[in-house]
Structure 1
Amino acid sequence: MSVEKILWQEDATGLAALVNKGDISPVELVDAAISRAAKTAHDINAIAEKLFDQARGRAAAVDRRLPLAGVPFAIKDLGIAMKGVPIHSGSKVPVSVADFDSVLTDRYLAAGLVPIATSTTPEHGLRLVTESAAFGITRNPWNTGHVTGGSSGGAAALVAAGVVPVAHASDGGGSIRVPAACNGLVGLKTSRGRIPMSPLASEGWYGFVVNHAVTRSVRDSALLLDLTYGPDNLAPYAARPPHGSFAAAAARDPGKLKLAVYRKSPLGLDISAETLKALDAAVALARDGGHSVEEIDLPFIGRGFMMDFVTCVASAVAGALRSESERVGRPVGGEIERATRVVGRFGELVSGGAVYAALERLSATSRQLMTHTAAYDAVLMPVLAHPPLKCGAMDPTGADDFLENMLDKLHLTPLLKVKALLGQLMDKSLWFTHWPAIQNVSGQPSIALPVHITADGLPLGIQAAGRHGDEETLLSLAAQMEKLSGWRERRAPLQVPA
């Protein structure tokens, strides 16, 4: 069997085992990943920066005894530093180049992973599809006419296409779980404070943003978490430590769990029949595993909650654009995309008091959510309201395009203080995916699982949200569902190796 076929077929844990045994070399694996990256580049357009020469050097020198020795990897082009590697953040604004590695990068390298590229992201991670003026459209390996999700869409495309078996990702409003759900992958959004963001940042979006990965298997997600979690001296807080290893949790039977299922849209928007089929598939798998599943409602998670989330994100974007202007020494408004500019301007209009009040309301609702669901080991709910969309489907058209253009050109952003108008724009931004921001606000872990394939052959995952700090239960449940379903063996049909 060719090395490319092995790379395409195995998960990271399996590849590392082959390296550890001496059956395959890190250089062979990395060369195969680089070759596959070239073969699929036109189809998926998922790479921001090629790190091929550095990767070959690392592969030649890596200690084969390391837990993920020689495994090809990708790092997202946003929110993480790798010494000497340009960070575009999905934007046309001049790049920044760090002279240090993030703590998380150090942990990846210490595990033996070999980054071969940085992966594409929408500008500043704002869209839940990976389409940008800077890099164009990143496409879904299951059907390249469809989106790969966002904002970790490049990471998910590279994993689903068999270029790398696991890739770094981050999640501030669903940006790990949405691409995982679109691409038939496992995507764990970790508990707040589980993985440090230092020294590049202390936190992102008021603590909404977390880092982890998109993976082919549950065991890969668990092992990588074992190798990267934990406090750092510069991190302001940390999630409570697990009872044991995450890998051990993924390997054990979860026992009989008490689960809930939440079916409603917090925005009150349409949910596709395919999404409900996916949720039913997850419920059926859970019941096959011996778990009880109870239907629940979360009436306090509604449009007001989502409006507060959007308001806080807008203020964070305004701050980020200020920082970018200070970094490059001039205003960057002319170099960013229209939608980013509008969001940033709205964020500038929101007072500090209004943002603080919104955060207080979000915190109060989060406490209510955790109290309401405390009796359940996990809550199943959708990630996507619709199957993966056709590329370009999230672009504003007609009246929406006219409105956004007028808000931008005529500097009419103050109109967004009218709740009805802001709500209209919120719905246009989030109609594809209504749920993931809930856990970004509450800080709870949530794992996207590839439970369903639509009639058109597209993946459509759902998520299981757990108690704060309890990734172990989620990983144990997810691994059992993975075994029952056989989804780990599924691969996208793009450029299948002979």
Structure 2
Amino acid sequence: MSVERILWEEDATGLAGLVRRGELSAIELTEAAIARAEATRPEINATAEPLYEAARTRAKSIDRSLPLAGVPFAIKDLGIAIKGVPSHGGSRIPAWVPDFNSVMTERYLAAGLIPIVTSTSPEHGLRLMTESKAFGVTRNPWNTGHTTGGSSGGSAALVAAGVVPVAHGSDGGGSIRVPSACSGLVGLKTSRGRVPLSPLVSESWYGMVVDHAVTRSVRDCALLLDLTHGPDALAPYAARPPKGSFAAAAARDPGKLTLAVYRKSPLGLPISAETLKALDIAVALAREGGHSVEDIDLPFIGRDFFADFCTTVASAVAGSLRGEALRVGRSVTGDIERATRVLGRLGEMISAGETYAGLQRLHATSRQLITETARYDAVLMPVIAHPPLACGAMDPKGADELIENLLDKLHLTALLRIKPLFGQLMDKSLWFTHWPAIHNVSGQPSIALPVHVTDAGLPLGIQAAGRPGDEERLLSLAAQMEKISGWLTRRAPLMVPSQ
């Protein structure tokens, strides 16, 4: 079997085992991954910065005893520092070149991973489709006319295309789970404080952003978390320690669990029949595993909750743009995309008092959510309301584009104080992804699972959200569902390697 075929078929745990036993070399794997990255690049457009020479150098001297020795890897081009590698954040703002590694970068390297590229992101991670003026459109390996989602869409595209078996991602409003749901992958949004973002930042978006990965398998998701979790000296807080290893949790039977399923749109927006079918498949898998599942409602999670989320993010974006202007020594208004400008101006318009009050409302709702779902080991719910969208489907058109242009060119951001207009723009931003931000606000872990492929051949995943700090139970449930379903063997049809 060719090395490319092995790379395409195996997960990271399997590849590391081959390297450890000397059946495959890290150099062979690295060269195969680089070749596949280049071959698929015109089709999926998922690379921000190639790291090929550094990868080759690292592969030549890798310690084969490391847990993920020689495994090709991608690191998202957003919110993480790699010494000497330009960081663009999906933007046309002049790149920043760090002279240090983030803690997570150091932990990835210590695990034996070999970064071969940085992966594309929408500008500042603000869209849940990976499309930007700086890098263009990232495409789904299952069907290149469709999106991989965002904002970790470049990472998801590379994993789904068989370039790498696992890739770094970050999630501030669904940005790991949405690409996983669109690309047939496993994607865990970790508990708040599970992994550090330091020394780049102490927290991002008021603690709503977390880092982890998109993976082919649940066991890879668990093993990588074992190798990267835990605070460092600069972390301001930490999630409660696990009772054992995450890998052990993924390997054991979960026992009989009490699960809930939430089927409604918290925004009151349409949900496709395919999404509801995917949710039904997840419920059926859970029941086949011996678990009880009951329907619940979450009436306190509604439009006001998401309005507070959106305005809080806007204030964070405004602050980030101030920081970028300070870094480059001039205004960055002309560098950024229209939607980012409008969002940043909205953030500047919101007072500190309004931001604080909105955060307090979000925290109060989070406490209610955690309390009222505490009796359940996990809650199943959708990630995306429709199958993966056609590329460009989220671009404003017609009247929507006219409104955004007026808001931008005439500086009419104050009109967003009009609740119906704000609600209209919120719906346009979130009509594809009604649910993921809930757990960014609450800080709970949630894992996207690739339960379904539509008749049109597009993946459609759902998520299971757990109690704060309880990734172990989620991973155990996810691994059982993976085993029952057989989804682990599914692969995107793009450029299938020969035997």
TM-score strictly above 0.5: yes
For the residue of structure 1 that corresponds to 2:333, the secondary structure is coil
SS of equivalent to 2:463: strand
What is the match of residue 373 of structure 2? 373
Q: Does 1:42 align with 2:42?
A: yes
Q: Measure the CA separation in 2 of the matches of 1:80 and 1:424.
A: 33
Question: Residue type of the partner of 1:193?
Answer: G
Matched, 1:190 2:190: yes
Structure 2 partner of 1:480: 480
Alpha-carbon separation, structure 1, partners of 2:468 and 2:414: 37
Instruction: Provide the alpha-carbon RMSD of the alignment.
Output: 0.3
1:453, 1:76 → 2: CA distance?
26
5+ long unaligned stretches in structure 2: none
Report deviation, 1:148: 0.6
Structure 2 partner of 1:3: 3
How many angstroms does 1:490 deviate by? Answer: 0.4
Q: Does 1:419 align with 2:382?
A: no
The answer to whether residue 128 in structure 2 is matched with residue 146 in structure 1 is no
Identity rate of aligned residues, in percent?
A: 78
- Asked whether 1:222 is paired with 2:218, we answer no
Unaligned residue ranges in structure 1 (runs of 5+): none
Residue 80 (structure 1) aligns with: 80
**Secondary structure of the residue that 1:462 maps to in structure 2?**
strand
Q: Which amino acid aligns with 2:497?
A: P
The residue aligned with 1:106 is 106
Number of residue pairs the alignment of both structures matches: 498
Task: Give the SS at the match of 2:452.
Answer: coil
3-state secondary structure, aligned to 1:31: helix
Deviation at 1:129, TM superposition (A): 0.1
In the alignment, does 2:21 pair up with 1:21? yes
One-letter code aligned to 2:162: G
The amino acid that maps onto 1:336 is I
Quote how far apart the aligned CAs of 1:412 are.
0.1
User: 2:326 maps to what in 1?
Assistant: 326
Letter in 2 for 1:144: T
CA offset digits 1:112-151 (Å, max 9, x no partner): 0000000000000000000000000000000000001000
**Aligned counterparts of 2:419 and 2:75: Cα–Cα separation in 1:** 38
CA deviation digits over 1:346-400, x for unaligned, max 9?
A: 0000000000000000000000000000000000000000000000000000000
What is residue 459 of structure 2 aligned with on the other side? 459
User: What residue is the counterpart of 1:211 in the other structure?
Assistant: 211
Q: How far does residue 420 in structure 1 lie from its aligned partner after superposition?
A: 1.2
**d(CA) in 2 for partners of 1:61, 1:307:** 51
**CA displacement 1:446-468 (0-9 Å, x = unmatched):** 00000001110100000000000
Counterparts of 2:225 and 2:65 in 1: how far apart (Å)?
18
Using the alignment, how far apart are the partners of 1:292 and 1:407 within structure 2? 49
The 5 Å alignment of 1:288-367 reads: 288-367=288-367
Partner SS, residue 203 of structure 2: coil
How far has the Cα of 1:418 moved from its partner?
1.3
Q: Which residue of 1 aligns with 2:119?
A: 119
Q: Is the partner of 1:206 in helix, strand or coil? A: coil
Superposed displacement of residue 230, structure 1:
0.3
Q: State the Cα deviation string for residues 157-179 of structure 1 (Å, max 9, x = none).
A: 00000000000000000000000
Q: 2:203 and 2:485 mapped to 1: Cα distance?
A: 36
Q: Matches of 1:455 and 1:491 in 2, distance apart?
A: 15
TM-superposed CA distance for 1:417, in Å, is 1.2
- The 3-state SS of whatever aligns with 1:145 is strand
Give distance in 1, aligned partners of 2:58 and 2:426: 44
Secondary structure, counterpart of 2:214 in structure 1: strand
Q: Return the alpha-carbon distance in structure 1 between the equivalents of residues 141 and 222 of structure 2.
A: 24
Q: Does 1:247 align with 2:247?
A: yes
Q: Residue 419 of structure 1: CA displacement?
A: 1.5
Which one-letter code corresponds to 1:313 in the other structure? V
4+ runs deviating over 4 angstroms: none
Per the alignment, residue 387 of structure 1 pairs with 387
**What SS does the aligned partner of 1:447 have?**
strand
**Which amino acid in the other structure matches residue 132 of structure 2?**
S
Q: How far apart, in 2, do the equivalents of 1:252 and 1:421 lie?
A: 50
In structure 2, the residue matched to 1:408 is 408
Pairing 1:230-309 to 2, within 5 Å after superposition = 230-309=230-309
Q: Hey, what does 2:497 align to over in structure 1?
A: 497
CA deviation vs aligned residue, 1:299-349 (integer Å, no higher than 9, x gap): 000000000000000000000000000000000000100000000000000
Aligned to 2:65: 65
Question: Secondary structure, in 3 states, of the residue corresponding to 1:81?
Answer: coil
TM-score, structure 1 length as denominator? 1.00
Q: Which residue of 1 aligns with 2:445?
A: 445
**Alignment-derived partner of residue 167 in structure 2:** 167
CA distance in 1, matches of 2:329, 2:423: 34
